[in-house]
Every structure is written in C-alpha cells, then in structure tokens.
Structure 1
Amino acid sequence: MDKELWQKKGEGHRARLRDRFLARGLDGFSDAEILELLLSFGTPRTDCKEPARLLLQKYGSFAKVFEAPVASLQEVKGIGPKNGFAIHFIHAVASYYLKERLHGKRYLHSSREVAEYLIHSMRGLKKEVFTVIFLDSSHAIIDSEIVAEGTLNVNTVYPREIIKRALEFHAAALIIAHNHPSGSLQPSTQDIKLTKTLALLCRYMQLQLLDHLIIGDGSYSFADNGLMDSVRVECQTAMDTFDRS
C-alpha cells in the first residue's frame, strides 16, 4: 500500500471515531481509542493507533498516561512534541474545567465534585502540594489556591499566609487538601498536627476549618472519618484554657 492510500485509510478510521463520538459521546470507546483520537489532534496525518496502545502498555492505565511527564511520554515510539503537548494540554484543560465548575457551589452539596477536582489536579504529582479552598458564610465555594509545595509541615505551610488569603477573599470557612505522592491515604502524625494548628488559628480568627482531604489512590476526608470532630474538641479545650488564663 503506497503512502497516499495508507493516509486515506487512516483518515477514514479517524473520521469514523469522530462520528461515533458525535453520535454517542465516549460511550463504547476503549481507552486506546480515546487516546488514539486525542493524539490525532497533535499529529492529524499520522496513524496513532499503535502509539496509543504503547502508552497504555507503558503506564498501565488511562489516568497514568495523563499524569506522565512530557519527556517520559516522548520515550514512546510515535509520541513527539506535538501529540505529547496535546495530552498535557487536555489534562490541564480538564483540571481548569473541574475547578471552574465549583465556583459558587455549596460544598455540602458538591463535596464529591471537590474531591474529583482535587484528585484530577493532585494525584500522580511527584511532590507534595497543599491546596486551600475558600468558602463564604453559606459554604459556597469562592476559589481555591495552591499555597505550598514540597515537604509539608507546620513550618512550610505558613498558616498566617492562609489566614491572610482567607481574609482577602472575605472567606468564612476553609477546606484544606494535600497529596501523598506514595498514593497512601493514611494521615500521618504530621498531617494531624498541621490540621490541629490550622483549626486553632481559624477559631481565633472566627473562621471554620471544615475538612482536610488527603489525595492519593483516591481521597480521604478527615471529616468523614471523625477526625475533624476530635480536632474541634481539642481546639475548644485550648480556647477554654486560654480564656481562663
């Protein structure tokens, strides 16, 4: 088969994939077919079926492909700067969309969407990242920001900067989140200590710390697992001791 006929065959296959998507969305698509169609945006005149298969073979899952560094992606045969860029661009757009759709939504009715955004944006990162979500008095989400990166503890997160940003947003409540690059969802002693420190500072500033989420292979909520209740009791005890002194 000469090059012109091969390209026409590939174009027909991609057209059929596009028609399927327009008719039914991603329903019925395999992970390889989704990646194949995505890669074709970066290299429209190239057969992307084999590179898509090799990506899934190398990284083991659809999500891991999107979390891989650009340099690592380009180690796969058929992945170059253009279609490697397409993968990272789509990943960034998805993260932006998930963040933007939270604005104005009440956390109590949107906690699952918050977890989805955090999992998408933080899972697979090679270093720890600390994110704060700011909420108003009705617990509607105002915005979210990354406030620290690297090894996280009470000395690197800078609680006073978090309080300062909360006041600038006119926030009434906060949700904090950080990732475990290992994938573990078990809170460390340092995680619990940091939560207690921030919760106490929030109480003094008449702010609520609603939850601390850990992102790894899924998500872990301090609130859902009862840890926030014990943190609040300790904060109240500390406040009462301070008032009596």
Structure 2
Amino acid sequence: MSQHDQRRHDDPASDPASDPASDPLSDPASPAARAAAVDDELARLYPDAGCALVHDGPFQLLVATVLSAQTTDARVNTVTPELFERYPDPAALAAARREDLEAILRPLGFQRAKAGHLLGIGAGLLERHDGVVPDSREELVRLPGVGRKTANVVLGNAFGQPAITVDTHVGRLARRLGWTSAKDPLRVERDIAALWEPHRWTDGCHRLIEHGRALCTARSPRCQDCALAAGLCPRVGV
C-alpha cells in the first residue's frame, strides 16, 4: 500500500460510514428529499388515508368542514346525514330556520355561530355563485366561516387542486420533523410547500394527520413504534 493509499485508509473522512452525507438527517443539502421520503413511508403505512368527513360533492364538504371547527370529524359525521337530508343544496340551506339548524348542530357545540355561518354560506352561494361552490380560494374565503384552512380542504378534496391543510396534527408533525419552526399555519403551509412537490400536498397532509392520531400524538408520542424514527425524524422538541 502506498503512503497516499495508507493516508486515505487511515482518514475517517474517506470511510463512507463516517461520511455525514450518508446520514440523511445530517445532510442539509437534501431536506426536500428527506421530506419526500417521509411521505413515501407514510403512504406505505396509511395507503387509505383520506378526508374523514363524509360528503358527496363540494357543497357537502364545504358545510362539513365549516362544522368541524372546535370538534372532531367523527362527531360532524353524526349530524350531517340529517342536515343534508333536510337541506340538500344552498337554496334550502339559505331558507332554513335558524332554530332548526341550531337544534341539529347542538351536539357539535357553538351551534348558534355555526348556524349563522351555514345560513350565510347558503345565501352567499346563491347571490354570488348561482348556487355553485366556487373553485378558487379567493372566492371561498369570502363566505362566512370559511378561512384558508377550510378553503384548502375543499380545493384539495372536492376539486383536486393541490392544497396543504394545516391542522393541529400537520403543524405538530412538521415541527417535530424539522420542516418548520413556525406555529402560524400560513408559515407552516409555506414551509411544507417548499419541501414537497404539489402532487404530495393534499394526500400527504391526510397521511400526516393519520400518523398524528395513531402514533405522533401531542402527548407521549410513540417514537419507539414509529418507522420514521430510523433516520427520517429528528424528533425536534420531543
């Protein structure tokens, strides 16, 4: 062995096992690749992840998403069958009696505010959109009770437009994965968008939500059972 080869042999930097670039977590040049790998692994774990709100079409999804504020999707699904049977379209919803809406929505809490939102949504869709749910964020957020998160749910799941929905699970996992340090949902959305290609946005968020419910919980996350712990998750703040 030549002296040059001996120096290479003795130099830890020449050993691939000691090369920081071989560790995906220590390679600052490929955060997008690691974020894609996370989504690929979650797609394997949760192949059926999707919108948990039971709906048929954009109108029902819009209404159900507005109702999901401050409650669970599962609870929303218990009241929407009666709601949509009685008020199947924007015209029927706009003509509803507030007290009847409040009675249906009472199990969700905040029924007075939510009934007001639904009445306003029905009227807004009739007055500005001929009873059709718009497929633009700008128009959706003009409707009562509709913010960016709700608009993104509708755009991504009803219209097939790439959209990132930042709920409590998505925000928490994005921070633990080191994708963002922000707590503001819009900043979190932008940080995720900088890492994921658009085709991952909608379903990728569903997968993050599933993982947040199953393992990466707010308290006592089950890192020992998590497939991401083996090289993909730095466990920031855990």
Question: Which TM-score band applies after superposition, normalised by the shorter structure?
Answer: under 0.3
Identify the structure with the greater helix proportion.
Answer: 2
Q: Normalising to structure 2: TM-score of the pair? A: 0.25
Q: Normalising to structure 1: TM-score of the pair? A: 0.25
Bigger relative CO (Cα 8 Å, ≥ 6 apart): 2
